[in-house]
């Protein structure tokens, strides 16, 4: 009798455990997107902690790269305001003209009245907005500042935004997709075992002449694309450099960006022909071998979900025989 009773009790316990486990599994998924309430703290790239008691439903983006993250993780329907410089992944100028989206002004000059009229529960900013961020937070708005300095920083920011907006799973999927593309490019370069080219990326000219340093995401793009940044030892993000130093370092490839946000406008360096005519530059290997590459200024200025495309474009410039298209 005691043995039967013990078996009965054991069976009841097993049934309870199975039912409880099924209930927990059906109601808990740590990787799923959350559309309900939440209570969490998110620390942005400037170390500021923002507390969220509910999932944001009305979001304003103050930078094109931030906008691309939001649409990339599938929460574009929650975006109520963008800047005049946002062109991807959709033609927001047309949306704004049609009344389907609101402009909040320029990249570095957001209109606070426009922001207030949209009643946002989350604003994604960048360090260029720091003076406005202080004001916006004092008015009670939740603001996250995104400032990725390398590829891993982009992944971190996508994950951070996904966490804040309740789209963790979508953020993880996007990060993994980008990583796979980059890994494929790096593997192809490694297998080729070719000599890495010296690269000069021009950020500004002529006064002051600037390039990309070790703490810029452009430096990381060059490295992952199999190049060596001639100013990769400079600790500043965008150091001031001299024309004489560039000639001395003798880059194999020169990268020049188109005008940011307005690709049809004349770029700051004038033209490729004018670059070739700079005093003393005729001795540079890149000029002698006609390896001056003009790249999309917006693409290389935005540390966002298009980072794999950045690397693919650079890889094609460095290894034209290895990559016959700009696609990873």
pLDDT at 285 over 50: yes
- In the chain, where are the structural domains located? 37-168, 190-318
Give me the residue label for tokens 């796979």.
180
Residue 324: pLDDT band by 50, 70, 90 thresholds?
confident
pLDDT at 36 over 90: no
Write down the CATH superfamily of domain 190-318: Nitrogenase molybdenum iron protein domain (3.40.50.1980)
Least confident of 108-112, 176-180, 198-202, 277-281: 108-112
pLDDT at 32 over 80: no
- Element at 39 (helix H, strand E): strand 37-43
β-strand 37-43 against 49-54: which pairing, if any? antiparallel
Supply the angle between the helices 168-192 and 151-165 in degrees, to the nearest 10.
170
Q: Determine contact, residues 217/154, Cβ cutoff 8 Å.
A: yes
Distance CA 264, CA 246 (A): 28
pLDDT at 91 over 60: yes
Q: Which pTM value belongs to this model?
A: 0.84
pLDDT at 15 over 70: no
DSSP string, 96-146: HHTTSSEE-B-SSSB-HHHHHHT--SEEEE-GGGHHHHHHHHHTT--EEE-
Residue 10: pLDDT band by 50, 70, 90 thresholds?
very low
Helices (H), the chain: 2-27, 64-72, 92-97, 112-117, 130-138, 151-165, 168-192, 217-224, 243-249, 272-276, 285-288, 297-301, 307-318
What is the pLDDT at residue 211?
98
Residue 63: pLDDT band by 50, 70, 90 thresholds?
very high
Distance CA 101, CA 241 (A): 41
What mean pLDDT comes out for the span 35-59?
A: 89
β-strand 198-204 against 210-211: which pairing, if any? antiparallel
What is the pLDDT at residue 108?
87
Write down the CATH superfamily of domain 37-168: Nitrogenase molybdenum iron protein domain (3.40.50.1980)
Residue 39: pLDDT band by 50, 70, 90 thresholds?
confident
pLDDT at 198 over 90: yes
Nearest by Cα to 172 from 3, 319, 326, 32: 32
């Amino acid at each position: 009798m005691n043995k039967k009773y013990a078996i009965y009790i054991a069976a009841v316990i097993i049934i309870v455990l199975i039912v409880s486990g099924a209930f927990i599994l059906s109601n808990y998924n740590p990787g799923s997107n959350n559309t309900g309430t939440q209570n969490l703290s998110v620390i942005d790239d400037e170390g500021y902690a923002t507390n969220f008691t509910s999932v944001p439903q009305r979001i304003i983006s103050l930078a094109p790269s931030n906008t691309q993250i939001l649409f990339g993780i599938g929460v574009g329907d929650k975006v109520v305001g963008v800047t005049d410089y946002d062109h991807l992944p959709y033609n927001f100028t047309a949306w704004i003209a049609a009344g389907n989206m609101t402009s909040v002004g320029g990249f570095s000059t957001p209109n606070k009245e426009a922001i207030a009229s949209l009643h946002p529960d989350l604003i994604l900013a960048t360090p260029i907005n720091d003076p406005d961020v202080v004001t916006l937070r004092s008015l009670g708005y939740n603001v996250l500042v995104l400032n990725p300095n390398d590829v891993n920083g982009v992944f971190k920011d996508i994950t951070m935004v996904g966490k804040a907006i309740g789209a963790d799973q979508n953020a993880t999927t996007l990060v993994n997709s980008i990583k796979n593309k980059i890994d494929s490019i790096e593997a192809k370069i490694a297998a080729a075992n070719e000599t890495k080219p010296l690269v000069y990326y021009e950020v500004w000219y002529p006064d002051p002449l600037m390039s990309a340093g070790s703490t810029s995401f452009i430096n990381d793009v060059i490295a992952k694309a199999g190049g060596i940044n001639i100013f990769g030892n400079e600790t500043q993000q965008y150091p001031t450099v001299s024309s004489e130093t560039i000639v001395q370092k003798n880059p194999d490839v020169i990268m020049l960006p188109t005008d940011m946000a307005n690709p049809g406008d004349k770029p700051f360096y004038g033209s490729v022909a004018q670059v070739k005519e700079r005093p003393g530059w005729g001795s540079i290997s890149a000029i002698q071998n006609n390896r001056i590459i003009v790249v999309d200024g917006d693409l290389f200025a935005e540390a966002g979900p298009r980072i794999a495309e950045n690397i693919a474009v650079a890889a094609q410039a460095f290894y034209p025989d290895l990559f016959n298209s700009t696609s990873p």
